[in-house]
Amino acid sequence: MSAPPAQLSHATRGPEMVIINCVLLSVASIVVALRFYTRIKITHFVGSDDWWMLAAWIIGVAQVGLWNAYAHFGNGSHIWNVPTQHLSKFFQILWVIQMIYPLGMGLVKISCLSLYLRLFSSERFRIVIYCSMAFVVAMTIATIFSAVFECIPIESNWVLSEWATRKCINRADQQYATSALAFTTDIAVLFLPMKYLLQLRVSTREKIQVIALMLLGSLTCIASIIRFKWIHFMQNSTDSTWDGFYLSVWTSIEFHFAVITTSIPAIKPLYVKIVQKFLHKNDSTPLHSDQSKEPPIFFLQESKLPAIV
């Protein structure tokens, strides 16, 4: 909550923003690196879903750089403590973030949908996936377009002297609409294959593990809901640079959770290899006579996904 101006608080959350961003990016970077190590060294196949995720990670690096600069120019500080000369740069960075963020989230969703294309050969389901891809692309472009032309002339988004004469769309409606669409597509992409996965002829144990993976992905949806709460809160904020800290944090959490949870299934072969090596290293039984032993957690193998119609 904002401190009353009469208190003239000089507190700042900028350093916290930098630390949170760097931690999230570090974890996401490790997961993406392990994903590519697994693809190159173990499965010997790098798919389009991996390249889309790499593109999303690159956007994530750019986002963290922008968010850290955003903190430097006032995000996390009370509005009365932000130098006037910093405000223009503050709003310019915000304008760029509003374009970069939906692009990154869109790339993560395309990566996930590309993985579905590789896993399932059902013609009807593939059509659904392609339609979902088209919707995600259209939504991403529309969101970026609305951010670019949020105010006319464009430079009035950050040039304070033009605020009195600029013409802007209803920002609250724009943010509510784009956030609601983003959350809807998060849910749709996450649960799109659920029906097909539950129809697979695999053990109950493996089905439970698949569902557990889906629930892991729901962390992104939870972050999206919390982010929406802060979007609503910001509509009535009188100290946007201070209160905007929470919106920035949850935006960063949502994006990095999306990258991490979408990449974890791709690391499964590496996990299986490490655990099996550990089990056999501590087991006197010869490897060839213990073929039935599996790691304690076994993520569904791509080879077990037949054509489902």
* 85's tokens: 């000369």
Q: How far is CA 1 from the centre of its chain?
A: 26
User: Which among 131, 259, 113 has a CA at the least distance from the CA of 189?
Assistant: 113
Helix, strand or coil for residue 129?
helix
Query: Which residues in 100-125 are b (16+ Cβ under 10 Å) and which e?
Result: bbbbbbbbbbbbbbbbbbebbeeeeb
Mean pLDDT, contiguous 10-residue spans, the chain (309 residues): 59 92 97 96 94 98 95 92 91 95 97 92 91 97 95 94 92 91 92 79 74 82 93 90 93 96 90 81 52 42 43
Domain ranges of the chain: 13-279+294-299
Answer positive or negative: Cα dihedral of 172, 175, 177, 180.
negative
CA distance readout (Å), 232 to 171, 177, 180: 11, 12, 12
Distance CA 101, CA 138 (A): 15
User: Which among 218, 231, 250, 104 has a CA at the least distance from the CA of 180?
Assistant: 231
For the chain, the maximum distance between any two Cα atoms, rounded to a whole number of angstroms, is 80
Quote the pLDDT of residue 288: 47
Distance CA 68, CA 107 (A): 22
CATH topology of domain 13-279+294-299: Rhopdopsin 7-helix transmembrane proteins (1.20.1070)
Quote the pLDDT of residue 33: 97
Who contacts 85 (Cβ-Cβ below 8 Å, separation ≥6)? none
Q: In one letter, which amino acid is 10? A: H
Cβ proximity of 136 and 129 under 8 Å: no
Cβ proximity of 74 and 82 under 8 Å: yes
Distance CA 85, CA 158 (A): 11
Give phi and psi for 65, each to the nearest 5: -60, -40
Q: Which contiguous run of DSSP H or E holds residue 205? A: helix 204-234
Distance CA 130, CA 224 (A): 24
Cβ proximity of 84 and 96 under 8 Å: no
Residue with tokens 């990670």: 57
Q: Which contiguous run of DSSP H or E holds residue 173? A: helix 171-191
Distance CA 78, CA 42 (A): 51
Quote the pLDDT of residue 236: 86
Q: Which contiguous run of DSSP H or E holds residue 152? A: strand 151-152
Cβ proximity of 74 and 91 under 8 Å: no
Cβ proximity of 258 and 108 under 8 Å: yes
Quote the pLDDT of residue 289: 41
User: Which among 262, 234, 235 has a CA at the least distance from the CA of 249?
Assistant: 234
Quote the pLDDT of residue 6: 53
Helix, strand or coil for residue 62?
helix
